[in-house]
């Protein structure tokens, strides 16, 4: 019997299996034939596409992720980007450069404001200070553990108090005095892609962290995001792929994991399936009550994806955000995020991944095909118009709805728990739980979504387990 069974090979599961395997007999179970979940790379009709995540940030030399990968010999090929993203809004083009001076020229050309320099200096400084503070740990094992773990956040609270309890939109409008509505739309769309919410529903610290994404080291990953997981898989001792865990039975001695063919046993489990979808795995009332308690955090947020195969002589940047003046049908957004493979990346150079925010509710089962076709056509038209691609340079296309994500990744809601002001830290699930032997990791638990947020949860899990 294993000490740990990790269910799901997304960022959280695969990275937890890395540190767990070092000290404990551990098996990672993944339903698909490849690891990565929302950050995987899949093959379709002979070509490769990034499923969802395309940007990779926060891999600074002193970061937890960097140390974890170095310690375990996880290798992948990457290239540092000078600009995290190019934003197209009406007639304006804004390169979100990592270099603050270069970026100030860009933003002042697009949206001049005398306070821009001071504002982005503040944003940059808040983010550096945030990622410098370390040592906190968040537990939910019991009321007392939770209370005591929350005290470890005092340094963060002390340092960021004025920004934690201030609404970001109010802060920004009062900071700038007068601000061009188009500039606000730009800012709203920048925070949406990181925090999964707009300025009006997040606090100023969250907004600052979201806006500072460009100042962190951003990398292009050769061979697709999935190549990071190939690097992880190479060093993991036990990975069971194409292994869908359908039920988990808790017994006094262990957890029994059932697939449609067989059973596995483990003393502890780390769930990397989304917390909201994990309920289907259990029959134990205490566990169901515990998981059900978090249902209120289920935002219903999801994504619509378009994948393109292109063949063009045009040189394109790696990542674009195209903001249009209207909300796209069947979505909640007026922007699309478009990522291109690098010209020198043999595996991905014809591959394009496009995402837009939607909700699961907007995809009625009866009309999905018509909805898909309509939205896919609109998105292709926007891409051609704004990036100068010719329709005949698009050699193939297909799209994915929230239901497609459910079929492949076993989750319909995406983007984790939006970092809303009302979702205060103590309300979030931690990486341990009051149920002995049950742990979670991933973007529906502490600390958040994306490589940066999920890795903070992995680090927290490692600390919680080391403590015991």
Binding interface with ligand FAD (CB under 6 A): 7-13, 29-32, 37-39, 52-55, 244-245, 272-274, 303, 355, 409-411, 414-416, 442-443, 449-451, 454
Considering the complex, state which of residue 9 and residue 429 has its C-beta at the smaller distance from ligand FAD.
9
**Cβ 119 to ligand FAD, closest distance in Å?**
24
Considering the complex, state which of residue 30 and residue 145 has its C-beta at the smaller distance from ligand FAD.
30
**Cβ 444 to ligand FAD, closest distance in Å?**
7
Considering the complex, state which of residue 32 and residue 309 has its C-beta at the smaller distance from ligand FAD.
32
**Cβ 158 to ligand FAD, closest distance in Å?**
28
Cis amide leading into 447 (omega within 30)? yes
Ramachandran angles phi, psi of 137, nearest 5°: -145, 135
Residue whose pair of structure tokens reads 């995987």 in the numeric block:
40
Considering the complex, state which of residue 242 and residue 436 has its C-beta at the smaller distance from ligand FAD.
242
Cα–Cα distance for residue pair 416/253, rounded to 1 Å: 32
| Residue environment code for 83-103, b if the CB has 16+ CB neighbours within 10 A, otherwise e | bbbbbbbeebebbbbbeeeeb
| Residue environment code for 413-442, b if the CB has 16+ CB neighbours within 10 A, otherwise e | bbbbbbbbbebebeebbbbbbbbebbbbbb
**Cβ 160 to ligand FAD, closest distance in Å?**
22
Considering the complex, state which of residue 273 and residue 460 has its C-beta at the smaller distance from ligand FAD.
273
Name the residue among 176, 171, 211, 206 with its Cα closest to residue 190.
211
Considering the complex, state which of residue 183 and residue 415 has its C-beta at the smaller distance from ligand FAD.
415
Enumerate the β-bridge partners of residue 2: 266
Q: What is the DSSP letter of 254?
A: -
Q: What is the DSSP letter of 356?
A: E
**Cβ 247 to ligand FAD, closest distance in Å?**
9
Cα–Cα distance for residue pair 83/95, rounded to 1 Å: 6
Q: What is the DSSP letter of 435?
A: S
DSSP-derived pairing of the beta strands 438-440 and 301-310: unpaired
**Cβ 458 to ligand FAD, closest distance in Å?**
8
Considering the complex, state which of residue 137 and residue 409 has its C-beta at the smaller distance from ligand FAD.
409
Name the helix (H) or strand (E) containing 268: strand 263-271
**Cβ 381 to ligand FAD, closest distance in Å?**
20
**Cβ 91 to ligand FAD, closest distance in Å?**
26
Name the helix (H) or strand (E) containing 248: strand 247-250
Cα–Cα distance for residue pair 52/399, rounded to 1 Å: 12
Name the helix (H) or strand (E) containing 219: strand 218-221
Considering the complex, state which of residue 341 and residue 416 has its C-beta at the smaller distance from ligand FAD.
416
**Cβ 367 to ligand FAD, closest distance in Å?**
22
Considering the complex, state which of residue 9 and residue 224 has its C-beta at the smaller distance from ligand FAD.
9
Q: How far is CA 341 from the centre of its chain?
A: 19
């Amino acid at each position: 019997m294993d000490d740990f069974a990790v269910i799901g090979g997304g960022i959280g599961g695969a990275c937890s299996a890395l540190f767990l395997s070092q000290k404990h007999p551990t098996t990672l179970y993944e339903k698909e034939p490849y690891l990565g979940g929302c950050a995987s790379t899949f093959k379709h009709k002979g070509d490769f596409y990034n499923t969802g995540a395309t940007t990779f940030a926060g891999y600074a030399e002193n970061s937890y992720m960097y140390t974890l990968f170095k310690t375990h010999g996880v290798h992948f090929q990457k290239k540092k980007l000078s600009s995290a993203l190019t934003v197209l809004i009406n007639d304006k083009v804004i390169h979100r450069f990592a270099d603050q001076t270069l970026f100030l020229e860009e933003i002042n050309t697009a949206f001049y404001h005398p306070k821009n320099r001071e504002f982005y200096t503040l944003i940059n400084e808040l983010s550096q200070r945030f990622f410098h503070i370390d040592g906190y740990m968040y537990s939910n094992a019991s009321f007392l553990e939770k209370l005591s773990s929350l005290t470890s956040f005092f340094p963060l609270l002390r340092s960021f108090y004025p920004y934690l309890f201030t609404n970001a939109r109010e802060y920004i409008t009062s900071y700038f005095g007068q601000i061009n509505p188009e500039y606000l739309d730009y800012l709203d769309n920048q925070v949406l892609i990181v925090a999964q919410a707009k300025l009006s529903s997040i606090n100023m610290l969250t907004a600052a962290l979201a806006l500072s994404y460009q100042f962190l080291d951003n990398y292009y990953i050769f061979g697709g995001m999935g190549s990071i997981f190939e690097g992880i898989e190479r060093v993991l001792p036990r990975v069971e792929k194409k292994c869908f865990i359908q039920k988990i039975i808790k017994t006094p001695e262990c957890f029994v994991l059932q697939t449609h063919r067989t059973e596995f046993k483990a003393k502890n489990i780390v769930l990397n399936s989304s917390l909201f979808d994990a309920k289907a795995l259990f029959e134990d009332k205490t566990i169901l009550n515990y998981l059900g308690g978090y249902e209120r955090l289920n935002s219903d947020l999801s994504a619509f994806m378009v994948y393109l195969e292109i063949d063009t002589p045009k040189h394109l940047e790696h990542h674009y955000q195209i903001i249009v003046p209207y909300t796209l049908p069947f979505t909640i957004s007026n922007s699309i995020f478009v990522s291109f493979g690098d010209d020198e990346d043999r595996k991905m150079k014809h591959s394009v991944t496009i995402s837009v925010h939607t909700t699961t509710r907007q995809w009625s089962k009866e009309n999905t095909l018509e909805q898909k076709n309509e939205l896919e056509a609109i998105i292709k038209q926007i891409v051609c118009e704004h990036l100068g691609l010719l329709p005949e340079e698009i050699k193939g296309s297909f799209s994915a709805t929230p239901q497609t994500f459910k079929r492949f990744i076993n989750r319909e809601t995406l983007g984790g728990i939006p970092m809303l002001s009302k979702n205060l830290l103590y309300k979030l699930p931690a990486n341990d739980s009051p149920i002995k032997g049950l742990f979670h990791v991933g973007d529906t638990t502490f600390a958040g979504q994306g490589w940066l947020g999920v890795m903070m949860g992995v680090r927290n899990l490692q600390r919680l387990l080391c403590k015991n």
